[in-house]
């Protein structure tokens, strides 16, 4: 197991706790600032017959309002440019913006919204995947990943099982609602402060909508109060609204959504309905696996095709299957456009194969772990994924073996079996589930990052990157990496606001890759500065100010060491004196040596051919496993989360506290998706669970009574930032271990019911299964 690194406090921890940290809506109001909101459709699908704004004249505080005809460009989109900022002739989901209103007073703004009347001819809405399948309304042509001969393998299989996996969506429920403030600057320019994971997209979408150059728009992000993918694309329309008002009125404009409105009009995690078929032997060896993934994309494409791609690329999870066919489609419905969410489709793909494995074990009357171990990725030739990438650096066997011993898995299996036989009121279930999660954007273009490093004469350093700090600690990781280059305290390194003026063409902060991309760029920039400083150190320590022999210079530079705020030569007897880092910087400045550097980094070796379904889409895989135990009340369906033990491969951990925090947070969020967080829609497409009283997220009661996290040492990892691994998303998938444990418990009394268990496994869903017995 990995020994933990010294504890380094996450940047701004004290400021967060004390309330001093400034988020978007905390920025002071300017004297002439206006507030922005929008009138939205109350109909999921219909034709706009009229927009009556005449009563807005009754509100002197209202200074402007806009409809689609006022926009230079009305379409935007993360992958496909198909979503209007303002509905024009037709509305396609409840909560879709139709009219933008700006007022000097927030209370008046709320009243003014009610005064606008929309005349909409309501049409039959399509809400579910099943309804969408009838019209076969797709966002792109179906995608396929295939390996081996599935048809022949099914014919040879001793047993074949088939089924359906169904999962609901999930609300992001970030702390800070969608928000943006736009400031007019120098006539025709705008500075936008937005709660976004994607500053460059905000910049580009605003410029396109206004018909101005991208260089006229600067997007600045100091920090955001959580994103989880919900602010990767979906902050852009609200930033556009503020920008439109600011540009037209020449006044600062602010938009901050209410919690209820945020939930109502923004997209969620994609619901999936997956049909699968699996062929296997009497020993549990999987011979063939076929799965058809169907995602509910909502009213516009957003990132749905990319989400589907990752779901497909994770559909075999950690299992080597020789014959596989994975197909996928995204259907158009009349829900708010579904979007990125932590783990980005992977859980929907992983859950399906895990359900199939549970069914194999139930049919063969074997421990599901036996089936998992029998089919686990291993040494050649059992190391090639269905899409042709080599699964290298596989530490899953070691992780699982360690977890088996740590969690006393076999002993607990026996104890649980005895408990279920003796208890007439409760059921218990146990599961051990492994994961492998590919780290990189599946769109190879996005795997790039830049950084600007400015070293000041007092030894302090400013670093600007394209990464957005949203609570995950990316700024702390990058600060540690830069401090390590110069061997100075982390406190000397300050991460600046993310700004498209300093770092342009940024990739979104997502995919668990932002520390790798932006951190490696920062290290490259810092190393170039350090190399120049090493030349200065040779001159200072030797007293040689003139030109010397090049070979002599190079040898001398190799002996220059940066350590604990000092610089010295570690080889020559006449290089005994050490100099402070700040003295060296003063010397460099006087010698006209550049102390700033911008660097660019791109992840090498990535490619994927969507048409052929083959490629090398990931830089590496983060791996892990969890053992979870639950107890279910037979009469109420209430779940008690008894225990979870997690072991995660994080490569060479640079900050164990950050890693463990990300693992715990991701797992609990995954547990919520699997058991509590139910999105309920009316048959007309209205989200009924859109308030804090109707949508339940995990609280202290859902925290496992016994909960441990251990970092698995993996010294052979060399791809991520300083040999570490991305950890923000992978542990989310381990939340499925709780859902599988519930299935395991229910199988004791209702095997057929356990097969049909939906996700989330709420108390109502559990009672449905129990009543099937």
The runs of H, that is alpha helices, within 275-345 are 304-313
> Among all residues, which ones are annotated catalytic?
729
Give the Cα-Cα-Cα angle 611, 613, 619 (nearest 5 degrees).
120
From 514, 451, 508, 522, select the one nearest 662 (Cα to Cα).
514
Neighbouring-strand partners of residue 434: 625
Q: What is residue 491's DSSP assignment?
A: G
Label residues 613-648 b or e (16+ Cβ within 10 Å = b): bbbbbbbbbbbbbbbbbbbbbbeebebbbbbbbbbb
Cβ neighbour number for residue 763 with a 10 Å cutoff: 15
Distance in angstroms (rounded) separating the CA atoms of residues 442 and 229: 15
Sequence-distant (6+) residues with CB within 8 A of 458 are 582, 585
Residues 5 and 652: beta-carbon distance below 8 Å: no
CB burial of residue 737 (10 Å; 0-12, 13-18, 19+): buried
Q: Which long-range contacts (CB under 8 A, 24 or more apart) does 402-411 make?
A: 402/1, 402/647, 402/710, 402/712, 403/432, 403/625, 403/626, 403/627, 403/645, 403/647, 404/432, 406/645, 406/647, 406/708, 406/710, 407/432, 407/627, 407/643, 407/645, 409/369, 409/627
Cα 3 to its chain centre, rounded Å, is 27
Residues 459 and 653: beta-carbon distance below 8 Å: no
Give the Cα-Cα-Cα angle 467, 668, 682 (nearest 5 degrees).
95
Q: And the tokens for 522? A: 């920062």
Strands (E), 107-158: 117-122, 143-147
Q: And the tokens for 338? A: 């579904």
DSSP percent split of the chain into helix, strand, coil, nearest 5: 35, 25, 40
Distance in angstroms (rounded) separating the CA atoms of residues 4 and 24: 35
Q: What DSSP element (H or E) covers 181?
A: strand 179-185
Distance in angstroms (rounded) separating the CA atoms of residues 138 and 333: 9
Q: Which long-range contacts (CB under 8 A, 24 or more apart) does 377-382 make?
A: 377/318, 377/319, 377/320, 377/436, 378/320, 382/320
Rg, C-alpha atoms of the chain: 28
Cβ neighbour number for residue 23 with a 10 Å cutoff: 17
Sequence-distant (6+) residues with CB within 8 A of 73 are 208, 209, 210, 211
Cα 758 to its chain centre, rounded Å, is 23
Distance in angstroms (rounded) separating the CA atoms of residues 376 and 319: 5
Distance in angstroms (rounded) separating the CA atoms of residues 189 and 308: 38
Sequence-distant (6+) residues with CB within 8 A of 41 are 87, 91, 93, 94, 95, 96, 98, 118, 120
Label residues 151-186 b or e (16+ Cβ within 10 Å = b): eebbeebeeebeeebbbbbbbbbbebbbbbbbbbee
Does the bond joining 381 to the residue before it have cis omega, within 30 degrees of 0? yes
Distance in angstroms (rounded) separating the CA atoms of residues 178 and 225: 10
Distance in angstroms (rounded) separating the CA atoms of residues 492 and 582: 11
Q: Quickly tell me which residue has 């004297």 as its tokens.
A: 31
């Amino acid at each position: 197991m990995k020994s933990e690194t010294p504890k380094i406090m996450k940047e701004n921890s004290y400021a967060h706790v004390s309330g001093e940290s400034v988020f978007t809506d905390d920025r002071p109001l300017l004297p002439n600032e206006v507030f922005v909101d929008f009138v939205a459709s109350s109909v999921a699908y219909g034709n706009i017959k009229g927009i009556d704004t005449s009563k807005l004249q009754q509100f002197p505080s209202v200074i402007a309002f806009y409809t689609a005809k006022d926009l230079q460009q009305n379409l935007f989109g993360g992958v496909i440019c198909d979503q209007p900022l303002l509905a024009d002739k037709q509305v396609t989901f409840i909560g879709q913006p139709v009219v933008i209103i700006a007022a000097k007073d927030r209370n008046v703004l709320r009243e003014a919204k009610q005064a606008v009347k929309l005349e909409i001819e309501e049409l039959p809405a399509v809400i579910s995947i099943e309804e969408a399948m009838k019209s076969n309304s797709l966002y792109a042509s179906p995608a396929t990943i295939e390996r081996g001969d599935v048809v022949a393998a099914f014919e040879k299989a001793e047993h074949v099982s088939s089924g359906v996996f169904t999962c609901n969506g999930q609300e992001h429920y970030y702390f800070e609602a969608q928000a943006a403030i736009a400031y007019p600057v120098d006539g025709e320019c705008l500075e936008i402060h937005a709660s976004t994971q994607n500053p460059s997209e905000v910049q580009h979408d605003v410029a396109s909508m206004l018909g101005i150059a991208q260089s006229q728009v600067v997007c600045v992000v100091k920090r955001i109060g959580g994103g989880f993918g919900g602010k990767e694309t979906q902050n852009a329309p609200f930033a556009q609204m503020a920008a439109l008002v600011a540009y037209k009125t020449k006044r600062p404009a602010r938009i901050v959504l209410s919690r209820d409105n945020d939930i109502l009009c923004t997209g969620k995690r994609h619901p999936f309905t997956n049909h699968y078929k699996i062929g296997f032997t009497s020993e549990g060896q999987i011979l063939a696996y076929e799965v058809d993934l169907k995602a509910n994309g909502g009213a516009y494409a957003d990132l749905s095709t990319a989400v589907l791609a990752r779901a497909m690329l994770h559909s075999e999870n950690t299992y080597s299957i020789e014959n596989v066919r994975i197909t996928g489609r995204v259907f158009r419905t009349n829900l708010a456009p579904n979007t990125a969410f932590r783990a980005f489709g992977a859980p929907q793909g992983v859950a399906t194969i895990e359900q199939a494995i549970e069914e194999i074990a139930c049919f063969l009357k074997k421990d599901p772990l036996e089936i998992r171990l029998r089919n686990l990725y291993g040494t050649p030739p059992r190391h090639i994924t269905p899409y042709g990438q080599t699964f290298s650096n596989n530490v899953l066997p070691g992780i699982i073996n360690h977890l088996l011993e740590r969690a006393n898995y076999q002993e607990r299996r026996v104890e649980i079996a005895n408990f279920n036989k003796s208890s007439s009121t409760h059921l218990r279930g146990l599961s051990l589930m492994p994961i492998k999660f590919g780290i990189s954007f599946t769109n190879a273009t996005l795997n790039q990052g830049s950084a600007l490093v400015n070293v000041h004469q007092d030894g302090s350093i400013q670093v600007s990157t394209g990464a957005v700090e949203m609570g995950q600690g990316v700024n702390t990781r990058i600060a540690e990496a830069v401090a390590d280059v110069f061997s100075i305290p982390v406190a000397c390194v300050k991460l600046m606001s993310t700004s498209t003026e300093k770092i342009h063409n940024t990739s979104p902060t997502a995919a668990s890759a932002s520390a790798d991309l932006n951190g490696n760029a920062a290290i490259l920039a810092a190393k170039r500065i350090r190399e120049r400083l090493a030349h200065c150190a040779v001159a200072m320590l030797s007293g040689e100010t003139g030109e010397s022999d090049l070979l002599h210079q190079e040898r001398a530079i190799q002996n220059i060491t940066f350590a604990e705020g000092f610089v010295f030569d570690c080889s020559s007897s006449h290089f005994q004196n050490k100099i402070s880092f700040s003295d060296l910087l003063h010397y460099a400045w006087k010698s006209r040596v550049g102390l700033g550097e911008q660097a660019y980094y791109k992840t090498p070796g990535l490619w994927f051919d969507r048409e052929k379904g083959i490629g090398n889409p990931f830089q590496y895989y983060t791996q892990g496993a969890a053992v979870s135990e639950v107890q279910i009340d037979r009469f109420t369906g209430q779940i008690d989360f008894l225990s979870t033990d997690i072991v995660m491969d994080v490569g060479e951990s640079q900050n164990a506290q950050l890693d463990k925090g990300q693992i715990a947070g991701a797992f609990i969020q995954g547990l919520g998706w699997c058991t509590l967080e139910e999105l309920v829609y009316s048959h007309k497409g209205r989200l009924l669970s859109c308030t804090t009283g109707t949508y339940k997220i995990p609280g202290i009661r859902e925290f496992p009574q016994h909960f441990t996290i251990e970092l698995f040492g993996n010294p052979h990892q060399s791809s991520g930032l300083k040999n570490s691994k991305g950890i923000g998303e992978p542990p989310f998938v381990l939340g499925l271990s709780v859902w599988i444990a519930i299935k395991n418990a229910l199988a004791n009394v209702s095997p057929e019911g356990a097969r049909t268990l939906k996700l989330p496994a709420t108390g109502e869903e559990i009672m449905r299964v129990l009543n099937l017995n």
